[in-house]
A and B are shown apart, each in its own frame.
Chain A
């Protein structure tokens, strides 16, 4: 019995989505969270590509267009997250520094 490749790709996509979700929720580190979100996005894109293949052998262009757009969106949001993460890190460092200089854990 052969497993249809579409099913494998689709399930892999869903697995990636769930794995990414788990990572996003459970990881404490910011960078890992960001990576997890990217894995989630990849899962969704894989799933979308699979859908495009599934229609009676004829390749449906619409999901591909969606994936292309999705990738653009995903790249830009990753860029925003990373930029914001840098800012958060910077201010956290400065904050730590100020705290240490003040010589206590006062706010």
Chain B
């Protein structure tokens, strides 16, 4: 049916069109801009829901556009892309609400929200990409649409951070580009739906395939902040809080992690990747990144920097799950794609609130914040406990499956990595929680903006973190129900590996 094919295009347009209109709006058109933003976000949610229901009923969605003979842009919704699309579109709604309140009265809002919408459009494009070329296409565009957001503040520091961001991501982009072209020359168009297209070449072109794998992983690894390609991430923290939230939970880092999943599972295929011996190095790299990020997070006093290094560490769980190669571990990794997104966006919302409402940026100044901002800190606490992996929170579920998969694969030592990282997570989150709830505030807050209405501040600042925190809780509690992300991931694994 025709509408099925247009649905994917409409999902993209639902954020692109409002974005383009917003670009042309005058700064003062606050109401119209907000309406457009929310309209786009809600439309996208509805369309995505229609799509997911459709996929569940076994309908297929695909759109093709021929760029060159033999070179096609393909948008296709499979189970895995539905997972990422759902995550991005839900979190985009919350981030939009939050950003509208957060950026109240700051300059250049039309510009900001224009790129914001563009960024989400491109992320959805990455999620829906049906072949490697389409993935590359949107992946490169992501760099360009996020850069203006990173430098939005326009300070010298922001511009320097933007420069570092561009250098890392563009260099990664060229690696990816070269890898894609090379693979294309070798085997023709690489469609995600035809797994195992590379397996006949393992014997004859093993070395070439390894180099290409390295190029592809280097390309997506920059965005996924794999050690040692993570240097841009902490610096990019100069961006406004909603941008950090978007970067870490929805768009850039997630797109990188999603790319790792695609490259390993859909381009190479698990068997081919194993046969070429590619998973072990990736596993080691992921493990190192997990521990390294956690240790560095411990050293930071700036709250956003600590969260940034925490992202470096946590996102590598996804890469770890994939590289273990056991269906259970892959399940844990994919589930973490969603879980980490939910938890991290909550944390960034809260960090943004603490900075915006109280002017507090450093952990050492956070004593007693819980009394001034109880709702925010409650959300923060839930998300942090999820990050640590305390049952029954979301993080626990992913770690549980990672561990199961590691043991089933005979890589028991990874349990050590998981435990170590959980301990480190606890070490860098618990003092914050303790200080915020149980210590006395040290005098006045640096810049208290006062209470607005019945809650701590503007409701649009408070509702998003509270809701996402509740989702974190529910996702963990109801992990076994049919509606949880885990259930969807189980569907993916079942379809692929017949668990």
Asked if the two chains touch in their complex, CB atoms less than 8 Å apart, one says: no
B residues adjacent to A (C-beta < 8 A):
none
- Residue ranges of A at the interface with B (Cβ–Cβ < 8 Å): none
